[in-house]
Structure 1
Amino acid sequence: MEVKQLSLGPLGTNCYILHDKKQAMIVDPGGDAERLKSYIREEGLKPIAILLTHAHFDHIGAVEDISKEHNLEVYLHREEHQWLKDPMLNGSKLFGVTAPITTSEADHELNEGSLTIANWTFEVFHTPGHSPGSVSFVFENDGFVIAGDTLFQGGIGRTDLPNGNHNQLINSITQKLFTLDDETIVYPGHGPETTVGFEKQNNPFF
């Protein structure tokens, strides 16, 4: 599996395109739909699903456009299904850095455990704290995790936003993400990639 990162939307959210040079899963299309469409077209990829680590506005800005363009189903934790339709819950009305965002309902509820989409099987970790429905996607055989806004290089996700919980966030990282192999690459929602081992040793929050 190959991982392509694009920085999209008003806050430079990391969108990840996971692909095998043919089919692709899109994680957190935060905005700039035309740029994302161009990449998909230029690479000759066939998108098959949209995965959301959580439903804050900067992670969902291009969901409606991309899902309709490619007839894609959207996967999101059940705790945040209402956020897609509510600009107050997803923060787009609260922050005012973009027009209020509403999208269609998600097609699938993400739950902790194994998930298979097409030829790919991976683990979903429920990692609340930054938001109640935050999840991380663990591709153990490929040696990486997409952690959304839970863990960053040298930092952790904000918990001062509505529905944030600092203790939950710390538990999500220490009890789940830090159980992965130290060599596991962490692809965060913002900023550069890191590894589990590096964050265990160097992250000032631990």
Structure 2
Amino acid sequence: MLSSQFVRFADIISAPLGEFMTKCYIIRDKKECLIVDPADEPETINHFLDTSFKGSNVNFVSTTGRRDHMKAIKALADKFPNAKYYISKKDHEQFVKNLDIIGVTKKLDIKDVNDGDKIMVDDEDFKVIEVGTPTSGGIALYSYGSAVVITGESIPTEDPRYVDKLLPHEIKSITEKILTLPNRTIIMSSHGPDSKVRTEKKRFGYRIPKSKLAKH
């Protein structure tokens, strides 16, 4: 169920979890671990951490405030009492409401992030990119060194015609924020297989102004 995508510094493990099969990504290094979108099935996440991660510093980030990107937090909060929970400032209110709905009573150390902020995993930094979809605070996490971007739901690669369903402001945001990254950048989506920036540019086709195309 779990698969690895080895990168330059950290390695990234992914598994589709829960009713909506939302992908949870675990970015791990020697001492630190960042769990991106702890969607559901905390027992699966716990099993992986217990068997494959020897460090002690575990933090979380949700790429959107939607419930299907955070359901496992209820069960994981007690196990990791010192964890930080990163969420876009624009999705903070929705995130807190959904914590209440899923039954989280423990006070969490919630850290609001904005476009351009960096989240560290040991020596590797992941830049926060505010994409603004599927929620106003929808974010992606980009590592230049590892040439990878975790895009959340903004690029659902499972649907080959997803571009046709995007609203104009979503096309503009993805074009300017994601498709200007280097062509080699691996796109890791909440739903669907890994892709690359060069591949998604072809899907967008004429919708991308030539001035926005990366030359590398």
TM over 0.5: yes
Quick one: structure 1 residues 157 and 10, their matched pair in 2 at CA, closer, same or farther if it must change by over 3 Å?
Answer: farther
Match among 44, 67, 70 for residue 57 of structure 1? 67
Correspondence 1:180 to 2:181 = yes
Residue by residue over 1:34-87, the C-alpha shift from the partner in whole angstroms, topping out at 9 and shown as x without a partner, is 111001001034342101100111111112322331121100011111212335
State whether structure 2 residue 136 is matched by structure 1 residue 132. Answer: yes
Partner of 1:7: helix, strand, or coil?
Answer: strand
Q: Report what 1:24 is aligned to.
A: 33
Matching of residues 85-124 of structure 1 within 5 Å: 85-87=96-98, 100-103=101-104, 107-117=110-120, 118-124=122-128
Match of 1:97 in 2: none
Report if the CA contact (8 A) 1:85-1:105 is conserved: no
Matches of 2:74 and 2:124, distance apart in 1? 24
3-state SS of paired residue (2:198) = helix
Q: Match of 1:146?
A: 150
- Alignment correspondent of 2:214: none
Cα contact 1:4–1:16 (8 A) shared by 2:
yes
Q: Which amino acid aligns with 1:40?
A: L
Partner residue in 2 for 1:84: 95
Indicate the SS of the match to 2:23.
Answer: strand
1:9 correspondence with 2:13: no
The structure with more radius of gyration: 2
* Aligned twin of 2:6: none
Q: Deviations over 1:64-117 (max 9, x none)?
A: 322331121100011111212335xx9x9xxxxxxx425456611111114143
1:148 shift after superposition:
0.2
TM-score by length of 1: 0.83
Among all aligned residue pairs of Structure 1 and Structure 2, give the percentage whose two residues are the same amino acid.
23
The one-letter code sitting in structure 1 at the alignment partner of 2:89 is R
- Whether contact under 8 Å (1:138, 1:146) holds in the other structure is yes
Give the number of aligned pairs: 191
Gaps of 5+ in 2: 1-9, 208-216
| Residue identity in the other structure for 2:27 | L
Query: 1:203/1:192 Cα in 2 relative to 1: closer, same or farther (>3 Å)?
Result: farther
